[in-house]
Amino acid sequence: MEIKTVSTKNELREFMELPYTLYRDDPLWVALLRSEQKAQFVPSKNPMLDHCEHILFTAHKNGRTVGRISAFLDHLALAHWKQPIGLFGSFESIQDPEVANGLLATARDWLRSKGMNSMRGPWSFASQEWGLVVEGYEPQPVIMAPYNPPYYNDLLTGFGFIKAKDLLVYLIDASQGYQIPERILRLTDRIQARYGVHVRPVDMNHLEEDVITITDLANVSIADNWGFYPVTRDEAKAMARDLKQVINPAAVLIAETSDRRPVGFAMSLPDINQIIKGLNGHLFPTGLLRMIFKLPRLEQYRMWALGVIPEYQGKAIDTLLYRATYEAIYSDRIRLEINYVLEDNDRMNNALLKLGVKNLRRYRVYEMAI
């Protein structure tokens, strides 16, 4: 077994191709569009790399590529966390501890050489893609959500990783008879009247400005959340560019006071995994036609992020945003997956449970001293 550093275009292509080989026969896996995966590793297309120092490795055994991993320092995260925590991601491996241990040890040694004291992951070069699935492998993953076979967790714990944090996923499913409880409707009516807050969708003619507003709100509202570090303006602009192709503006919401001061946001994305499954990462030629005809009719969404600025927290503005999202996208078959709620975020978890949501999945981020 040999570990190689990725240093050429062909080696990068080999690195990116591995998931399509490993998961080829997995009925739950949804192949990421190859153009999207490639963009994650191109600095001109992924501004997150502007503040990251990274390295990629592949594992080879008996003439085959059998694993991969990235190791990186995110200098923006390091400055925000004020702790020497290195990150690893893009982890894939056959079910072989020798391969996994070789990859993880190589990433650990590189991070250690950079002065890091601990190693955390899996952590992606794409925003909000953290952790491994540890509960709720079915149904298939939604847009921008990780997926892995169950044995990955054994590989990480076998190397010495322990849980750093669990991230919870909830489901609202109108096809199963879900309705917002009447008491929540009365509550949010009172909230709107009491605080003069209304919710509006993003303006597609000024999408970049609205996404920057949402980014600014996020940087303030969830600054104390575990794992958070600020999103840059360049990342916000890139997000606006990418989202313009797929979003339903009715599902990307900004809460404002009567004097138009933004105080909160909720962003839900159509689950394009429902469209691209089976394309093996290729949008052309049939995938584009699928996207054009099926995207407007999608009835599955992922709530990707929600935040309320500190002075308006505890006033049920988050509940108002949940209600507004649900009503904006409602049909009698709508499914809304609410992702990445920190297990110890009692305020958010309690608000969701009062809405009558169901538990669906659990992701886990791991960490170890190095």
pTM attached to this predicted model: 0.94
pLDDT score recorded for residue 43: 87
Same domain membership, residue 133 and residue 85: yes
370 found inside a domain: no
Domain boundary among 116, 151, 167: 167
Q: How far is CA 79 from the centre of its chain?
A: 22
pLDDT score recorded for residue 129: 83
Same domain membership, residue 289 and residue 181: yes
Same domain membership, residue 158 and residue 267: no
Q: What is the DSSP string of 57-122?
A: EEEEETTEEEEEEEEEEEHHHHHHH-S-EEEEEEEEE-S-HHHHHHHHHHHHHHHHHTT-SEEEE-
How far, in Å, are 85, 200, 219, 238, 365 from residue 40 at the CA level?
21, 31, 22, 12, 20
* pLDDT classification of 239: cutoffs 50, 70, 90: confident
Res. 178: pLDDT tops 90: yes
Same domain membership, residue 328 and residue 205: yes
Closest alpha carbon to 30 in 158, 118, 133: 133
Nearest-angstrom CA–CA distance, 230 and 210: 17
Same domain membership, residue 58 and residue 40: yes
Res. 331: pLDDT tops 90: yes
Q: How far is CA 344 from the centre of its chain?
A: 18
Same domain membership, residue 116 and residue 222: no
State percent of the chain over pLDDT 70: 99
* pLDDT classification of 240: cutoffs 50, 70, 90: confident
129 found inside a domain: yes
Closest alpha carbon to 47 in 106, 135, 110, 126: 126
Positive or negative CA dihedral for 141, 144, 149, 151? negative
Res. 243: pLDDT tops 90: no
pLDDT score recorded for residue 127: 67
Same domain membership, residue 262 and residue 184: yes
CATH number, domain at 106? 3.40.630.30
Asked whether the beta carbons of 140 and 302 are under 8 A apart, the reply is no
Nearest-angstrom CA–CA distance, 215 and 237: 10
* Cis? peptide before 285, omega within 30° of 0: yes
Segment 288-303 mean pLDDT: 93
* pLDDT classification of 272: cutoffs 50, 70, 90: very high
Nearest-angstrom CA–CA distance, 304 and 341: 10
| Tally of domains in the chain | 2
Same domain membership, residue 156 and residue 10: yes
- To 10 degrees, the CA torsion angle through 238, 242, 247, 252? -10
* pLDDT classification of 140: cutoffs 50, 70, 90: very high
> pLDDT by residue (tens digit) across 142-171?
999 999 999 999 999 999 999 999 999 999
Segment 97-122 mean pLDDT: 98
> pLDDT by residue (tens digit) across 244-259?
889 999 999 999 999 9
> pLDDT by residue (tens digit) across 31-82?
999 999 999 998 888 999 999 999 999 999 999 999 999 999 999 999 999 9
368 found inside a domain: no
Same domain membership, residue 347 and residue 245: yes
Our CA angle for 345, 347, 352, nearest 5°, is 95
Q: How far is CA 166 from the centre of its chain?
A: 14
Query: What tokens were used for 364?
Result: 């886990």
367 found inside a domain: no
Domain boundary among 121, 139, 167: 167
Contacts by 281-289, CB closer than 8 A, 24 or more apart:
281/20, 281/31, 281/32, 281/33, 281/34, 281/37, 282/33, 282/34, 283/33, 283/35, 287/33
Amino acid at 237: K
Average pLDDT taken over every residue of the chain: 95
pLDDT score recorded for residue 27: 96
- Strands 335-342, 300-308: pairing is parallel
Q: Which residues pair with 266 in a beta bridge?
A: 253, 306
Same domain membership, residue 205 and residue 154: no
Same domain membership, residue 153 and residue 216: no
Asked whether the beta carbons of 165 and 227 are under 8 A apart, the reply is yes
Q: How far is CA 154 from the centre of its chain?
A: 22
Range of the domain at 26: 2-167
pLDDT score recorded for residue 285: 81
Res. 286: pLDDT tops 90: no
24 found inside a domain: yes
Same domain membership, residue 108 and residue 84: yes
369 found inside a domain: no
Segment 205-234 mean pLDDT: 93
State percent of the chain over pLDDT 90: 89
pLDDT score recorded for residue 102: 98
Res. 369: pLDDT tops 90: yes
Domain boundary among 167, 188, 217: 167
